[in-house]
């Protein structure tokens, strides 16, 4: 089964509770889930959070909107993903993070198409970050359950355990990997949510999407940022960095 596993938690150090911050009564996590549902190939969506009491709120939201929720280790996110995928019998894992509410389902499907056609272990658009041509906030990572199982069994470094996919691409561990190229270099743009300025930018982008009556695929969001430098400038000091939210 092909499933999107979205990691989310309330205890983000830079902007606590960000995943449940609301725009027009809809939380960022729910907003993201609604966009992921537009993918043509994802069979299921699972939110993977921690067992901490504060993350009860995330489970409550999932129950309310009919989305599966798995709870595991707060810091060993690799184990959280492995256990989640194993329980739900996921063969192909699409890893998404809740700090990317404007994720584009077209990009998800494009990365997946290349993942399947190249018959590899791991594929992404924004990884490795240094060669990415995609905005920070459009992050998609896809890997097989077998690759996840091997990483879970072999990885011992704390960073590898926390960031889930480091073991696939940061070291020569023998995994077959692929990075989705882009006709344009959009790496200078940012619509992830790590700081309050990011949230303010996302909120204004959302308003523009509503006013323009468009879904908000990447090229449309880029157009908004070009048309509205006031939005782009809100979080400009945080540009050029891929975040690794756990």
CA distance 165 to 184: 25
Q: Is the pLDDT confidence value at 239 over 80?
A: no
Asked if residue 186 is part of any domain, the answer here is yes
Residue 245 lies in a domain: no
The predicted-structure confidence for 204-235, as pLDDT tens digits, reads as follows 999 999 999 999 999 999 999 999 999 999 98
Q: How far apart are CA 201 and CA 207, in angstroms?
A: 10
Look at the alpha carbons of 89, 140, 27, 163 in this order and tell me if their dihedral is positive or negative. positive
104 domain residue, yes or no: yes
Task: For residue 189, tell me if it sits in a domain.
Answer: yes
Contact call for residues 147 and 168 (beta carbons, < 8 A): yes
Looking at residue 240, its pLDDT comes to 56
Task: Classify residue 246: in a domain, yes or no.
Answer: no
Half-sphere exposure of 22 (CA within 13 A, CB side): 4
Could you tell me the residue range of the domain that residue 54 belongs to? 2-238
Band (243; pLDDT cuts 50, 70, 90): very low
**Position 7 in a domain:** yes
pLDDT tens profile 105-136 = 999 999 999 999 999 999 999 999 999 999 99
Kindly state whether residue 230 falls inside one of the protein's structural domains.
Answer: yes
Q: Are 94 and 108 in contact (CB under 8 A)?
A: yes
Domains of the chain: total: 1
What CATH number did the domain enclosing 172 receive?
A: 3.90.550.10
pLDDT at 244 over 80: no
The residue assigned the tokens 């959280």 is 80
**pTM for this prediction:** 0.94
């Amino acid at each position: 089964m092909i499933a999107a596993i979205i990691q989310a938690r309330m205890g983000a150090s830079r902007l606590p509770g960000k995943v449940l911050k609301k725009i027009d009564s809809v939380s960022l996590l729910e907003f993201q889930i609604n966009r992921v549902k537009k993918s043509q190939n994802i069979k299921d969506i699972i939110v993977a959070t921690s067992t901490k009491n504060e993350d009860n709120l995330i489970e409550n939201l999932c129950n309310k909107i009919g989305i599966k929720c798995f709870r595991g280790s707060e810091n060993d996110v690799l184990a959280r993903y492995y256990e989640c995928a194993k329980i739900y019998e996921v063969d192909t894992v699409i890893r998404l993070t809740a700090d990317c509410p404007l994720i584009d389902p077209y990009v998800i499907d494009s990365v997946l198409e290349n993942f399947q056609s190249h018959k590899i272990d791991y594929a992404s658009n924004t990884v490795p970050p240094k060669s990415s041509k995609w905005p920070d906030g459009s992050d998609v990572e896809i890997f097989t359950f077998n690759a996840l199982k091997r990483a879970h069994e072999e990885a011992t470094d704390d960073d590898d355990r926390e960031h889930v996919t480091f073991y696939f691409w940061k070291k020569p561990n023998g995994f077959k990997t692929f990075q989705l190229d882009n006709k344009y270099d959009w790496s200078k743009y940012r619509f992830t949510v790590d700081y309050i300025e990011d949230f303010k930018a996302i909120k204004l982008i959302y308003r523009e999407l509503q006013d323009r009556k468009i879904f908000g695929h990447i090229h449309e969001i880029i157009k908004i940022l070009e048309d509205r430098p006031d939005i782009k400038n809100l979080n400009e000091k945080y540009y050029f960095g891929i975040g690794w939210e756990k």
